[in-house]
Every structure is written in structure tokens, then in C-alpha cells.
């Protein structure tokens, strides 16, 4: 058998403690010749029964024929190998089917009457007569291959040679073409002719003009496809960016077993137009929080373009507060009529009374991309105050948060494409007059979206949700949450007015005689009189200020109040020029004014000039005048003011200031303030060495009772550095 020890003429064996060479095999006997020339005749049965018998030159390990490789060969090559196997078996055993085959051997191949050499000569003559010229040496070589590798040794190995898809192309051309293809990953798509020009230019730079010649255009194009097709280097620019952002395989599936264990957040521009104020038509932006374990859309915020970090922080608050039933909604959308264990949960959290059928999930870990909205210090500080870990994905890596990306696609196909003024996923799918079809305002479309989430998403079966006891039954997000909450439990996290302020971006600075100045806006009030020029009780001596970029008309300052439980409280401080501006505006509006009004006087006068320019802009826009840019700026502000404040949605109360429309950039540019620039990504100028460790449930408090400023970063490890190792 192939791969097994074989005793044949010339083999070396160990017998009786000595090494012998097999000289002859006949009639069940073997003649052995020792190293010293001694000759012995031994019965084969006695030789094999010896305790020390060993075939010294036999293969060490028996081998199984590579049947998979045989199947990959051309049929003619495979059949030729099987034919040779029958010939080799007949030479060695006298029977083509092997020694155990039925029938008598042919006379010329009978081992009892013909020697092995005679049988090899006979087989060579037979094959030559059949039209396949063969010598006895070839037959002997095929026998040796068969003993070593079985049928695989009889294969014509010219058919098994590995052929390069590049053929005989010049290695220098291949290397240059690879470099050009890699350099074009992030560029706009071009033709094969452009690749040829760039490759020729690179070869000239590396080796000199005319030293390395390119093949013909047809050969070059085949070489390009051979190098690029498998790696997607000739795909569209969008597909190439997706491949570049994809993490290196192997991919490990994410296993989540508890609600809130992993929540993914992201923003996208919705594929539909909405009508803003004064008839301005624009595509809104949707910010979403998705629980991976239950596929629940925990919260969704629909804004005009330019989501800010404060929107993401408000999204956190919205996740932890039960969604209220809105006017006009069917009673079937209430939580008490859903599969959620309403009665049991109501005994734990009284806020669920009259709530809509949307689970309340407190996240433990939030996965976000590295956009300005989600990596800003205000958002990270908000997560830290709520005991939530933040894990950024690698830069530009959409697949790392594939669950929420896929949810955006589902929202487009299940909801948005049925709404008026649907734009399609790209301009090639857009209708002739999509903007003219816009009829929904931002508030109306948001109301439709929130209703669809409860009745169209939370009650819809999801193929990715399977109960452990019913693996063949797909569950809805609400059913999955009901199954998991019974095992994991439910802990309500009540939020109030102070928590809402805590979630806003913050800045730390002094309280001067003129109050506080943020981005050329001075804020002052008589409540600041006792603290002007005085250091705060905090370690850095600066006062904590929270602000809402959507409502720049006032800020909140944390001041000592001994009568409060924690020894401090919040005071609202208005903008000194708020009486000049009656219409709502946002930081986006303010930044537009700053770019258009040149500074011609001191800071105080320049601020007054900016306020007057802002009032004129809002008045022109209200009268239907001004440029399109000015109309859009004013429309975003007014739309945000009329769409309802997040405070009212969350708590059924009116906020101290409405939530207005976001800016295009998540940055406050101070433009030369003494206190330094204010950004959403910068907490302030307090020294890190003075920071105290934070607590997820309450802020650390000094002996004086004033809280120490929190660090605006995750203190366990650097999540941004960790994201690069994914």
C-alpha cells in the first residue's frame, strides 16, 4: 500500500540486532546480506515475527492521497493517473485491482513465475504496443512514485504547477503599477489610460526615461485587472473608501446579552426634504442611538443640518426617560398594550405610566465614530457623569459600527422612501422635482418618525434577534427586550433640571467686572456681584459655566448655595444685549455675523455692532429679503424655536431656553478673547494635575462643598488610542 513499509530487493532491514540488505525474494523466503558479507536465507514469516524487525529505508509516516487536489486536476490528467495505478499494481502483484482482487494474474505478470524485472519489461512492451512509448526504467520510476505518494505520485505534475496571474510581466512594471494603484485609493476614479501614464511616469523617475518599457495596452490592461480586481482597486471611489476603512480580518462577531451593554450612536443626513421657515427647503440630519442586544432605537433626534455635541448629550437624556404618548397617537402604541411587562415595570418606575411602547435603556458602553459631535469633551463628560464608557471606532471606519449603519438603511427603505420629497440615496435616484414635493415641516416629519419607530420598528420582527429557547423564531425589539429584562433587571435613572444643565457643554473661566465673555458675547447679572474678581472654591480657581450652543442668549453658572443639598446651585445669566434681539438665533447665526462684520472698535463696541448686525439680519430674513444664505441661517433658527424644546419632550415642562438649530461646525472661535477660545472639544483652562477622580453617581466635592471639575476624558484608558488597535 502507498506510504507503508515495503520489503523488496535492495531494502535495508534490521533483523537479529544487525543490519541486512535484501538480495533476493522467492518462494516465501528472503536472502539477506550483512554488512560484513555474510549471507542468510530466512523465511518471510520468521523475519516479520522478529521483535527487532524494522525496514530502515521505509517511509516514516503513512500518507493519505490528497483527494481534494486530485479533484482539482483536469479530467484527462486524473484519468491518466488512475490508469497508471492499475498498471503499477499489475506489475507488483499480478492483478490490476491489487493483491486482493479476484481472478488469476496474467502469465507475463505472475509473481510466481516471473521476476520483478521481467514484469517491468513486459509492462513497458505492452504500453509501447498500445501507442504509449514506455521503457522499463519509466515503469520502475512510476512504481517508486506510487510507493512514495500513492496516486498523486502518478500524476503528470506539469498540470499542477502554480501559474501566476501576472504571467511573465516585468517585476519592475508590476511594482510600479501596484504603487500607483495604492496611491489612487483616495482619489477620484479615472481611466486605465491614466494608470498607464502614471505608471510610465513613475518608472521614468525610478529607472530613467526609456529604461523600463511598458507592455502593449491590451497586456497592460490585463495586468491592471489581475492586480486590482481582487482588491477592489478599480471599484467606485465610495467602495474603495469603504474597503480602506474596513478593519483587517478575521472579523469577530459582537456578542451582547444585556440591554444597554453596547449602544451605537451615529448621525446621517436623511434622504428627504423638509420645509423650514419662509419656505426654505433642506435635508434634515438624524442622530440615532441603537441598542445592539435588542435592536431597539433608544432615541432619535431630527435636526436641521449641523448636529452639535449638545444634541448628542440630549440624546443620552432622551434614552433614559420614557417616551411620552403624543397627541393623535393610537392607544395601541402605549406601553401597557405591548408585550413589555408593563405592570411589573410600573411598580419599579412610576414614570412609565402613560408612556409609549418604547423601552427605556441605560447604556453601559457607547460606540461612536470620531466626528466632532461624539468626541467633544462635552459629550464625553456627559457620558462620564452618567457612568457610561465611550469607545470610539477607528477613524473613518463605518463597518466598526455596522449595526447602526444598517439601521439607517432600514429606516430609508421602511420609512423615508414613503415620505413626501424622498430624494433617493444618491442624485442618480432623485426625481425631477423632489424639492417641490416637500410638504412636511421638520416638526411634522419628526412626529411621524417617532410614531413609526414605536409601531413600525419596535413591533417588527428582526432576523438578527433570536430567543435562546426559540432559535427559529425571529423576535421584535420589544419582544427581545421583554425577554432580556426579565433576566438582567431594570434600574431607572431619573433625570431632572440640573441633570439637563449638566449635560450641556461647559467652560471654566473667571467672573470679571463685566461678567463673563464667550465668543464676543458678554453675560452679566447681579447674582454675580459677590463673586466678581473672586476665585472659585475649586482647585483651579475658575467658575464652572454651562452653555447651550442652540440658545446663546443665556448661560448657567454654578455658584455656592449653602441651602442646597450639595452646597451649590445653578444661576441663569443672560447676554447683555439680549433685549436687542427679539427673534431666536443660534451660534450658527452668530458665527455668520462674525464672518461678515469687521472689527473697527474695542471689544465692547464690536460686540454691540455684532448684535445690531444680527438684529438686521433676522429682520431682513423675516421680511423675505436678503441672500439665500441669510434666509437659510434665519430659517434654521426659527424652525428650531417652533419645533419644541427637548426639555418639554423629556419632562413635560418648558425649558428656561428653547433648543435652537445647530451650527455647521462644532467649534466656538473666540477671535481673541482674553479668556481664550471656547470650543465644544475643550473644557477650559483648568490644570489637569488639580483634577480629582470622578464618580458616576455624584460629582466629587471639596471640603467647602463646591464640586471639583470633572476630567473631560475617560480615565480608565485612552479609547482613541485603543480604537487604532482594532
Distance in angstroms (rounded) separating the CA atoms of residues 134 and 127: 6
What cell does 229 get?
Answer: 480586481
Q: Using CA atoms, how far apart are residues 670 and 584, in angstroms rounded to an integer? A: 21
Among 650, 613, 603, 708, CA closest to 497? 650
250: preceding bond cis by omega (within 30 degrees): yes
Residue 62 clears pLDDT 70, i.e. is over it? no
Residue 366 has pLDDT above 60, yes or no: yes
Q: Is 701 helix (H, G, I), strand (E, B) or coil?
A: strand
Cα–Cα distance measured from residue 571 to residue 625, given in angstroms and rounded to the nearest whole number:
38
CA 126 to chain centre: 67
pLDDT (average), residues 345-369: 88
689 three-state secondary structure: helix
Is the CB of residue 397 less than 8 Å from the CB of residue 246? Answer: yes
Could you give the CA distance from residue 659 to residue 655 in angstroms, rounded to a whole number?
A: 8
Q: What is the pLDDT of residues 219-273, one digit of tens each?
A: 999 999 988 888 888 888 878 877 777 767 777 777 888 999 999 999 899 999 9
Alpha-carbon span 680 to 588, nearest angstrom: 13
| pLDDT: which is higher, 693 or 83 | 83
d(CA 145, CA 124): 16
295 C-beta neighbours (distance < 10 Å), count:
23
> Which tops the pLDDT comparison, 674 or 226?
226
560, exposed or middle or buried, with CB in 10 Å at 0-12, 13-18, 19+? middle
Interacting residues of 284 by C-beta distance below 8 A, sequence separation 6+: 269, 270, 272, 274, 302, 303, 304, 305, 442, 445
Task: Fill in the DSSP letter of residue 149.
Answer: H
Q: Looking at per-residue confidence, does 331 or 66 come out higher?
A: 331
- Give residue 439's pLDDT: 84
Going by C-beta distance under 8 Å and a sequence separation of 6 or more, which residues neighbour residue 279?
A: none
Q: How confident is the model at residue 24 (pLDDT cuts 50, 70, 90)?
A: confident
Mean pLDDT check: name the lowest of 36-45, 104-113, 438-447, 618-627: 618-627
**Low-confidence winner among 88-97, 130-139, 310-319, 468-477 (lowest mean pLDDT):** 310-319
B/e letters for 249-272, b = 16+ CB within 10 Å, e = fewer, are eeeeeeebebbbbbbbbbbbebbb
Residue 91 has, within 13 A of its CA and on its CB side, a CA count of: 29
Highest mean pLDDT: which range of 402-411, 603-612, 617-626: 402-411
Ranking 117-121, 303-307, 390-394, 671-675 by mean pLDDT, the lowest is 671-675
Question: Helices marked H in 428-533 — which ranges?
Answer: 442-452, 477-488, 497-502
Reported as a pLDDT band with limits 50, 70 and 90, residue 643 is: very low
Residue-wise burial string across 628-637, b where 16 or more C-beta atoms lie within 10 A, e elsewhere: eebbbbbbbb
CA angle 528, 533, 536 (to 5 degrees): 75
373 confidence band (pLDDT: 50, 70, 90): confident
3-class DSSP state of 474? strand
**Mean pLDDT score of the chain, rounded to an integer?**
79
**Res 382 pLDDT > 80:** no
Residue pair 389/721 in contact (Cβ under 8 Å)? The answer is: no
**pLDDT tops 90 at residue 128:** yes
pLDDT higher than threshold 50 for residue 31? yes
Please give the radius of gyration of the chain, using alpha carbons only, rounded to the nearest integer. Answer: 40
Q: What is the mean pLDDT of residues 469-473?
A: 83
| Backbone φ and ψ of 463, nearest 5° | -65, -25
Please, how many CA atoms are within 13 Å of residue 183, restricted to the half-sphere of its CB?
Answer: 11
SS3 letters for 710-726? Answer: CCCCCCCCCHHHHHCCC
- CA dist 476 and 218 (Å) reads 55
Q: Cα–chain-centroid distance for residue 470?
A: 29
Maximum average pLDDT range among 13-17, 58-62, 402-406, 588-592: 402-406
Place of cell 469577530: 252
Q: Burial level of 575, CB count in 10 A (0-12/13-18/19+)?
A: buried
Backbone phi and psi for residue 356, each to the nearest 5 degrees, phi listed first: -80, 165
Neighbours of 206 (CB within 10 A): 13
pLDDT at 663 exceeding the cut of 50: no
* Range 618-623, long-range pairs (CB < 8 A, 24+ positions): 618/581, 618/583, 618/585, 618/589, 619/583, 621/278, 622/278, 622/583
- What are the distances in angstroms from CA 249 to CA 231, 399, 480, 721, 726? 14, 12, 30, 20, 10
Measured CA to CA, the distance from residue 376 to residue 380 in angstroms comes to 6
Instruction: Tell me the average pLDDT across 295-308.
Output: 84
More confident residue, 712 or 168: 168
pLDDT band at 452 (very low <50, low <70, confident <90, very high): very high
pLDDT of the residue at 176? 93
| pLDDT at residue 701 is higher than 80 | no
Q: Which of 97-106, 154-163, 265-274, 605-614 has the highest mean pLDDT?
A: 265-274
Backbone angles phi, psi at 32, to 5 degrees: -115, 145
Least confident window among 221-230, 276-285, 362-371, 714-723: 714-723
* Crossing angle between the packed helical segments 75-93 and 136-149, to the nearest 10 degrees: 100
Q: Is pLDDT above 80 for 484?
A: yes
**pLDDT value of position 691:** 34
The whole-number pLDDT of residue 278 equals 64
3-class SS of residue 523: strand
Band the pLDDT of 80: cuts 50, 70, 90: very high
Is residue 342 very low, low, confident or very high in pLDDT (cuts 50, 70, 90)? confident
What's the confidence (pLDDT) of residue 518? Answer: 85
Binned at pLDDT 50, 70 and 90, residue 12 comes out as confident
pLDDT for residue 637 is more than 90: no
The three cell numbers of residue 377 are: 469633551
Q: In the structure grid, which three cell numbers stand for residue 656, read together? A: 428656561
For residues 700-716, give the mean pLDDT: 39
pLDDT of residue 477: 94
34 in the Ramachandran plot: left (φ > 0), alpha (ψ -120 to 50) or beta?
Answer: beta
User: Which grid coordinates are listed for 527?
Assistant: 447674582
pLDDT higher than threshold 70 for residue 528? yes
| Per-residue three-class SS string for 646-687 | HHHHHHCCCCCCCCCCCCCCCECCCCCCCCCCCECCCCECCC
Query: Which has the minimum average pLDDT: 287-296, 416-425, 433-442, 626-635?
Result: 626-635
Half-sphere exposure for 482 (CA within 13 Å, toward CB): 18
pLDDT for the residue numbered 500: 72
- pLDDT of the residue at 709: 37
Question: pLDDT value at position 282?
Answer: 87
Amino acid at each position: 500500500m502507498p506510504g507503508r513499509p515495503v520489503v523488496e530487493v535492495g531494502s535495508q532491514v534490521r533483523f537479529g540486532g544487525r543490519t541486512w540488505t535484501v538480495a533476493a525474494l522467492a518462494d516465501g523466503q528472503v536472502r539477506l546480506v550483512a554488512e560484513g558479507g555474510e549471507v542468510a536465507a530466512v523465511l518471510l514469516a520468521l523475519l516479520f515475527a522478529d521483535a527487532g524487525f524494522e525496514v530502515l529505508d521505509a517511509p516514516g509516516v503513512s500518507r493519505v492521497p490528497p483527494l481534494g487536489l486530485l479533484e482539482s486536476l483536469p479530467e484527462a490528467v486524473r484519468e491518466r493517473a488512475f490508469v497508471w495505478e492499475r498498471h503499477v499494481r499489475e506489475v507488483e502483484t499480478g492483478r490490476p485491482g491489487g493483491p486482493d482482487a479476484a481472478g488469476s494474474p496474467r502469465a507475463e505478470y505472475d509473481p510466481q513465475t516471473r521476476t520483478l524485472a521481467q514484469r517491468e519489461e513486459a509492462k513497458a512492451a505492452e504500453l509501447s504496443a498500445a501507442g504509449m512509448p514506455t521503457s522499463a526504467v519509466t515503469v520502475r520510476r512510476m512504481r517508486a512514485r506510487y510507493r512514495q505518494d500513492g496516486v498523486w505520485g502518478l500524476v503528470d505534475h506539469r498540470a499542477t504547477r502554480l501559474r501566476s496571474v501576472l504571467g511573465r510581466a516585468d517585476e519592475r512594471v508590476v511594482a510600479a503599477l501596484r504603487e500607483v494603484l495604492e496611491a489612487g485609493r483616495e482619489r477620484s476614479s479615472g481611466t486605465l489610460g491614466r494608470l498607464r501614464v502614471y505608471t510610465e511616469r513613475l518608472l521614468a523617475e525610478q529607472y530613467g526615461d526609456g529604461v523600463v518599457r511598458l507592455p502593449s495596452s491590451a497586456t497592460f490592461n490585463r495586468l491592471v485587472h489581475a492586480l486590482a480586481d481582487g482588491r477592489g482597486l478599480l471599484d467606485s471611489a465610495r467602495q474603495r473608501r469603504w474597503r480602506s476603512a474596513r478593519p483587517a480580518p478575521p472579523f469577530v462577531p459582537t456578542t451582547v446579552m444585556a440591554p444597554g451593554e453596547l449602544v451605537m450612536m451615529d448621525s446621517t443626513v436623511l434622504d428627504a426634504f423638509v420645509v423650514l421657515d419662509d419656505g426654505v427647503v433642506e435635508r434634515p440630519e438624524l442622530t440615532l442611538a441603537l441598542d445592539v442586544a435588542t435592536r431597539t432605537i433608544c432615541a432619535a433626534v431630527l435636526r436641521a443640518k449641523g448636529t452639535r455635541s449638545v444634541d448628542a448629550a440630549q440624546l443620552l437624556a432622551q434614552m433614559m426617560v420614557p417616551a411620552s404618548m403624543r397627541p393623535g397617537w393610537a392607544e395601541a402604541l402605549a406601553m401597557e398594550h405591548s408585550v413589555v411587562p408593563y405592570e411589573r415595570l410600573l411598580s419599579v418606575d412610576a414614570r412609565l405610566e402613560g408612556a409609549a411602547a418604547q423601552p427605556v435603556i441605560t447604556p453601559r458602553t457607547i460606540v461612536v465614530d470620531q466626528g466632532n459631535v461624539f468626541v467633544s469633551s462635552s459629550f464625553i463628560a456627559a457620558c462620564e457623569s452618567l457612568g457610561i464608557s465611550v469607545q470610539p471606532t477607528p477613524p473613518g471606519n463605518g463597518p466598526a459600527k455596522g449595526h447602526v449603519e444598517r439601521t439607517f438603511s432600514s429606516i430609508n427603505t421602511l420609512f423615508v422612501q414613503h415620505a413626501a420629497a424622498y430624494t433617493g440615496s444618491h442624485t442618480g435616484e432623485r426625481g425631477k422635482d423632489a424639492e417641490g414635493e416637500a410638504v412636511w415641516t421638520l416638526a411634522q416629519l419628526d412626529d411621524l418618525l417617532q410614531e413609526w419607530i414605536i409601531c413600525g420598528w419596535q413591533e417588527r420582527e428582526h432576523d438578527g434577534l433570536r430567543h435562546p429557547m426559540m432559535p427559529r423564531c425571529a423576535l421584535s425589539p420589544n419582544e427581545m427586550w421583554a425577554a432580556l429584562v426579565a433576566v438582567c433587571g431594570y434600574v431607572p435613572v431619573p433625570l431632572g433640571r440640573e441633570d439637563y444643565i449638566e449635560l450641556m457643554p461647559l467652560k471654566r473661566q473667571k467672573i470679571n467686572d463685566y461678567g463673563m465673555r464667550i465668543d464676543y458675547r458678554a453675560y452679566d447679572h447681579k447674582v454675580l456681584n459677590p463673586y466678581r474678581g473672586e476665585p472659585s472654591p475649586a482647585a483651579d480657581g475658575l467658575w464652572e459655566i454651562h452653555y447651550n450652543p442652540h440658545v446663546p442668549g443665556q448661560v448657567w453658572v454654578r455658584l455656592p448655595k449653602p441651602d442646597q443639598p450639595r452646597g451649590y446651585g445653578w444661576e441663569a445669566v443672560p447676554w447683555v444685549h439680549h433685549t436687542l434681539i427679539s427673534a431666536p438665533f443660534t451660534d450658527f447665526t452668530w458665527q455668520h455675523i462674525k464672518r461678515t462684520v469687521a472689527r473697527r472698535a474695542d471689544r465692547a463696541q464690536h460686540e454691540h455692532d455684532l448684535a445690531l448686525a444680527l438684529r438686521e439680519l433676522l429682520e431682513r430674513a423675516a421680511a423675505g429679503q436678503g441672500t439665500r444664505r441669510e434666509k437659510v441661517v434665519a430659517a434654521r433658527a426659527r424652525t428650531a424655536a417652533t419645533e419644541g424644546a427637548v426639555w418639554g419632550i423629556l419632562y413635560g415642562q418648558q425649558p428656561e431656553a428653547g433648543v435652537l438649530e445647530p451650527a455647521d461646525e462644532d467649534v466656538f472661535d473666540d477671535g481673541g478673547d482674553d479668556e481664550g477660545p471656547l470650543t465644544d472639544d475643550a473644557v477650559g483652562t483648568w490644570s489637569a494635575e488639580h483634577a480629582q477622580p470622578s464618580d458616576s453617581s455624584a460629582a466629587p466635592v471639596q471640603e467647602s462643598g463646591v464640586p471639583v471639575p470633572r476630567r473631560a476624558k475617560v480615565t480608565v484608558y485612552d479609547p482613541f488610542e485603543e480604537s487604532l488597535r482594532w
